[in-house]
Amino acid sequence: MLALLAVFTPLGLMAQVQVTSVAYSALSNGTNVTSNKLTYANDYNAVNYIDTANGNYVFANAPGASVAFRRSTATNNNATVFYQYSGAYSATSDTVYSKGDSTPTLNEVMLSNDLTQGLRNPFANLNSGLVDATTSNIERIDFSLPNFTVTNVNDGFVFFDLENYGNNGDGFRIAAFTATGTVNGQANAPTTYANTGLMVAANSFGTNVAAPTGGDVTYMRASTSGGDNLASSQTIASIDTSSDGTLTSSDLVLVGILVRFSDLGLSVGSVIQGYSLISSDTVVAAASDLVNWRNSAVYLTNTDATTSAGNMDFMGFGAQISRYVPEPSTYGLIFSGLACALAGWRSWRRKAIA
């Protein structure tokens, strides 16, 4: 049955798809928690579904999801997280809508499934004068989904980028991995990739979609020198203060793209252990090139924060599986195909019996 569904689903061989709109659930009002200079309001609007040109998608938590950040060096490993903030901006104390606790970590941000926060310029090795960027030296972000089995090639992952209004996303590479082990002294790292992955081109995302709280919203960023520990040596700055209702090129907005399992070379029944997000300037000729993130001939260590490769901002929405919801007409096509197959089988069976 699954094989027949894959054959008769019309989207199976198309490229990645732009997100055109997002529908959110009602507000879940959490308890305020303060850490360092930030107060997390823990006000959360879950994503109910997204619209694309090829149909609707709903979401389910990825089973057993975890995330690891693979860095090129052991020093100068900063992290910059951006947040949608609430109220007036302050350089010493801010309240943000986002999920958070008294000991926030980068892992929690990227597993939050919260579109009010995300990771800024993770692949940047060079600042190049961009005032609000710090060098993170993250070469790869690995999302672990142990023994995940593909049941529909049109399901996949959705990624959101925080972009200046009028732009449609920065580039990145995504690749599925099928086995893990110890690499560079780090356990549970990918050791086998399904292929060299998919290159998502810059400006290929959809147009801007509504933020969880709607309207023209504002953002600030918090940078730390503690790597994955976001509560140490924190500095904060505004990156978008305008909320006058008129969007200009200096305003920040959300844009999204859907990458389906078929885009990653996977088929029904494929079993993966997770997927990796990688800078678009990675030099890769074979799937095995992706394994060692400290090979500077593959994972370049001069990625500039001002370029598309170094300027990708991932919202904290990596731990979700997007589930395709066929339109009624698609169901009709599926069942018509099944009926034709059944009729042919019955005809063959009658001839065989005769």
The pLDDT-based confidence of 11 (bands split at 50, 70, 90) is very low
Q: Which DSSP state fits 340?
A: H
Nearest to 212 by CA among 162, 265, 260: 162
323 within a domain of the structure (yes/no): yes
> Can you name the residues that pair with 35 across neighbouring β-strands?
38
Question: Residue 331 belongs to what H/E stretch?
Answer: helix 328-353
Cα–Cα distance measured from residue 240 to residue 120, given in angstroms and rounded to the nearest whole number: 14
User: Residue 163: which domain range?
Assistant: 2-327
- Domain-embedded: residue 339: no
Over the stretch 244-295, which tens digit does the pLDDT of each residue have?
Answer: 778 888 899 999 999 999 999 999 999 999 999 999 999 999 999 999 999 9
What pLDDT score does 132 carry? 60
What is the rounded radius of gyration, in angstroms, for the C-alpha atoms of the chain? Answer: 22
Tell me the three state secondary structure of residue 253. strand
Tell me the C-alpha distance between 178 and 173, whole Å. 17
211 in a structural domain: yes
Q: How many domains does the chain divide into?
A: 1
Instruction: Supply the pTM of this predicted model.
Output: 0.87
Q: Please say whether the beta carbons of 163 and 172 come within 8 A.
A: no
Residue 63 covered by a domain: yes
How far apart are the C-alpha atoms of 66 and 274, rounded to whole Å? Answer: 9
Judge contact between 22 and 47, C-beta under 8 A: yes
The answer to the question of residue 273 being in a domain is yes
- For 141-185, write each residue's pLDDT tens digit: 999 999 999 999 999 999 999 999 999 999 999 999 999 999 999
Domain assignment present for 194: yes
Question: What are the pLDDT digits (tens) for 27-51?
Answer: 999 999 999 889 999 999 999 999 9
Q: What is the pLDDT of residue 91?
A: 80
pLDDT band at 133 (very low <50, low <70, confident <90, very high): low
Question: Left (φ > 0), alpha (ψ -120 to 50) or beta: where does 212 sit?
Answer: alpha
- Judge whether 123 lies within some domain: yes
Q: What is the mean pLDDT of residues 223-247?
A: 83
Q: Is residue 243 part of a domain?
A: yes
